[in-house]
Amino acid sequence: MTPAEMLKAKVKVVMFDLYGTVVDMQKGLVAAAAPFLAGKGWTGKPNSFVTWWRRTHFENSMIDALLQREHTSYREIGFRAVAYTMDRAGIEYTDDEAHYLVSCIEKLEPFADVPAALARLRTKYRIAILSNGDPDMLETAKQHHRIPFDRVISVAEAGSFKPHVVTYAKAAAIMDVRMDEVLFVANHAFDCLGAKAAGMHSAFIDRRKRPFGRTPHQPDIRVDDMQALADLMT
């Protein structure tokens, strides 16, 4: 049996990261940031600004998880990250403007291939989101991605950001399945790695054509896009 055939025989839930996997975070935030930055007279590349912002957010969320203190909201981590990025870029801003940029995350649209692919997967499996986003942010996002997930889960329920093991364990418990009955899907290696290390199966959507890295927690499936995943799993 192929890896996909073995997974089809045991997987009950296909679980997705949201930001950057289901919705196009880089493209959407660049589109939102570009006019804002132009209005500030900043002459750098909006794509670079968003990349700095996202990297800073990721680093801060990992620090928050490692501190093992009270969970900080995604929105607050986002505010700190975009504020730092504007400080770094020498852009004058108000707190309201920083909060506005963070709010744009809630309005991101899905990648073009995602709705049809997930509709196919939903004929065979329950589909769910496990996101670092706050519960209210994920609720607002439903209006924009318009995909009928069986469940949308925030890591706030586990009290830590991914890739902490408790986030995946909590999501499996919420879906009432064993860890090995979940196929976790992400467009970035850290989330696939976290899910696989926790006991789930994983699928890496390699849209950006990047190496996965020499971790022992390799994905079970590696595909170019969500359509290819649906082809393999249905």
β-bridge partners, 202: 184
Average pLDDT value for residue range 105-118: 97
In tens, the pLDDT along 181-219 reads 999 999 999 999 999 999 999 999 999 898 999 999 999
Going by pLDDT thresholds of 50, 70 and 90, the confidence category of residue 1 is: confident
Q: What is the pLDDT of residue 34?
A: 98
Percent of the chain with pLDDT over 90: 96
Q: Is the pTM of this model over 0.85?
A: yes
Domain positions in the chain: 3-24+108-233, 25-107
Going by pLDDT thresholds of 50, 70 and 90, the confidence category of residue 68 is: confident
CB 13 within 8 A of CB 127: yes
- Chain-centroid distance of CA 43 in Å reads 29
In tens, the pLDDT along 211-234 reads 999 999 999 999 999 999 999 999
In tens, the pLDDT along 20-57 reads 999 999 999 999 999 999 999 999 999 999 999 999 99
- Which of 55-59, 148-152, 169-173, 208-212 is least confident? 208-212
- The mean predicted confidence, pLDDT, of the chain is 97
Q: What is the pLDDT of residue 43?
A: 94
Same CATH topology for 3-24+108-233 and 25-107: the answer is no
Is 156 a residue whose pLDDT tops 90?
Answer: yes
Q: What is the pLDDT of residue 137?
A: 97
In tens, the pLDDT along 93-110 reads 999 999 999 999 999 999
Q: What is the pLDDT of residue 164?
A: 95
Average pLDDT value for residue range 134-158: 97
Q: What is the pLDDT of residue 4?
A: 87
Q: What is the 3-state secondary structure (H, E, C) of the chain?
A: CCHHHHHHHHCCEEEECCECCCECHHHHHHHHHHHHHHHCCCCCCHHHHHHHHHHHHHHHHHHHHHHCCCCCCHHHHHHHHHHHHHHHHCCCCCHHHHHHHHHHHHHCCECCCHHHHHHHHCCCCEEEEEECCCHHHHHHHHHHHCCCCCEEEEHHHCCCCCCCHHHHHHHHHHHCCCHHHEEEEECCHHHHHHHHHHCCEEEEECCCCCCCCCCCCCCCEEECCHHHHHHHHC
Domain 25-107 sits in CATH at 1.10.150.240
Write the CB contacts of 196 (distance below 8 Å, at least 6 apart in sequence): 184, 202, 217, 218, 219, 220
Going by pLDDT thresholds of 50, 70 and 90, the confidence category of residue 83 is: very high
CATH homologous superfamily of 3-24+108-233: HAD superfamily/HAD-like (3.40.50.1000)
